[in-house]
Homo-oligomer: A and B are copies of this chain.
Amino acid sequence: MTDLTDSTTDDNLDGAYAHAEEIAGGRLIRTQGVTAPAGFRAAGIRAGIKVNGNADLALVLNEGPELAAAGVFTTNKVKAAPVLWSQQVLSSGALRAVILNSGGANACTGPGGFQDTHATAEALADALSNWGTETGAGEIAVCSTGLIGDRLPMDKVLAGVGEIVHELAGGISGGTDAAHAIMTTDTVPKQAALHHAGNWNVGGMAKGAGMLAPALATMLCVLTTDVVATPEQLDRALRHATRKTFDRLDIDGATSTNDTVLLLASGASGVSPAQDELDAAVLAVCDSLADQMMADAEGVTKRVTVTVRGAASEDDALIGARTVARDSLVKTALFGSDPNWGRVLAAIGIAPIELDPNTITVMFNGRPVCIGGVGAPGAREVDLSGIDISLDIDLGLGDAEVSIRTTDLSHAYVEENSAYSS
């Protein structure tokens, strides 16, 4: 993971990652997504759910021969209707399709909202069956993103569902259309595909920034692969990847009611890679998507990697890094390109972890600013004017290390989030 992060930190913030790189036994390409693996089609259309008329309905179809699937969902106790529905559907370990809408979260909408989700799945099952792919509503996951608390315009959703099956396409276009249709405050679509040397593939698309704790906007992510794998193997690969990527992307500490990450396997390659190979490939795709989400987070002017090393345990390293990554005083200082390491010490000091103030070393962009809890010479002169900032905190206690991706706290963040629903 470190390699991937390092190789991308020199990119511009435009998010247009076109280049390929060698990783996890394959080639990672950032302009291909869910239709890169064999056996998948996708589409994205304008259904009129968004008032601004942008694309707002996406469909990912698994044409098989297998339908194995796994999912990871928000830890928020307030879960949107589509999350409750998709969790239920996934208990079978199989998915034929995922229908995703932007323009409305369908969260905090009560029993009526849940019925809307159910009706969407039923309508898609009918449309797919009429189109020639026999499907039941219980094989369809539903994802929604947008404002919490409003019911969806179901006339438009259902009309869109009837239309979108006719737009399904393989190749690059289908996946790219779908990636566009799930965007809300995103400024660019996020896609990644890994073509493994062993003739199998993993692809993915995502929107928003956040998962377990992190979520500015809802994070939705659909991953596809053409390997032959059981739901249990997919689940292991997915949890291994999300734990190290989306769960370590923390823009503002908020967690959406709708966060969903799904992994669908078609088996179309006929290849059954070793679990470790599958883990690595799914991790590489998720890591690229997480990196793209950080780069496109609301109001970002700095891409920040907070690393806590020398911790007594991985949990301590994670909690410590997350605490610093969420600290408003650290984040505003970084917005101001201010190497205010005192705020870093104050932030790590409130983390509920084992630490000794006298053994802490802090580095900005590789330059020590605090050694043994005391300021280093020249600490106030470290240059943080660039887009990428690495903040390393060595607790000097053990061997555990965790990195969290975050951003600064900028005027643009305040602006964007103070005017969202109005």
Contact = CB atoms under 8 A, between A and B. Distances in A.
Interface residues of A, number: 63
Contacts of A333: 417-418, 420-421
A244 B94 CA distance: 52
A411 interface: yes
Contact of A149 (B77, B252, B342, B347): B342
Interface in A313-355: 326-329, 332-333, 335-336, 338, 340-343, 345-350, 355
Interface string A398-422: 0000000000011101110111111
A417 B328 contact: yes
B255 A343 contact: no
Interface in A296-315: none
A329 B299 CA distance: 13
Contact of A411 (B350, B372, B414): B414
A4 interface: no
A148 interface: yes
Contacts of A76: 346, 349-350
B253 A346 contact: no
A256 interface: yes
Given A105-B342, A345-B148, A418 B253 contact: no
Interface stretch (A46-54, A107-115, A153-161): A107-115
Contact of A108 (B342, B350, B409): B342
A247 to B, nearest CB: 13
A373 B81 CA distance: 12
Given A252-B328, A257-B349, 9 more contacts: A79-B349, A109-B375, A253-B326, A254-B328, A255-B350, A329-B417, A332-B413, A333-B417, A333-B421
7 contacts: A76-B346, A108-B373, A254-B328, A257-B345, A332-B413, A333-B421, A414-B414
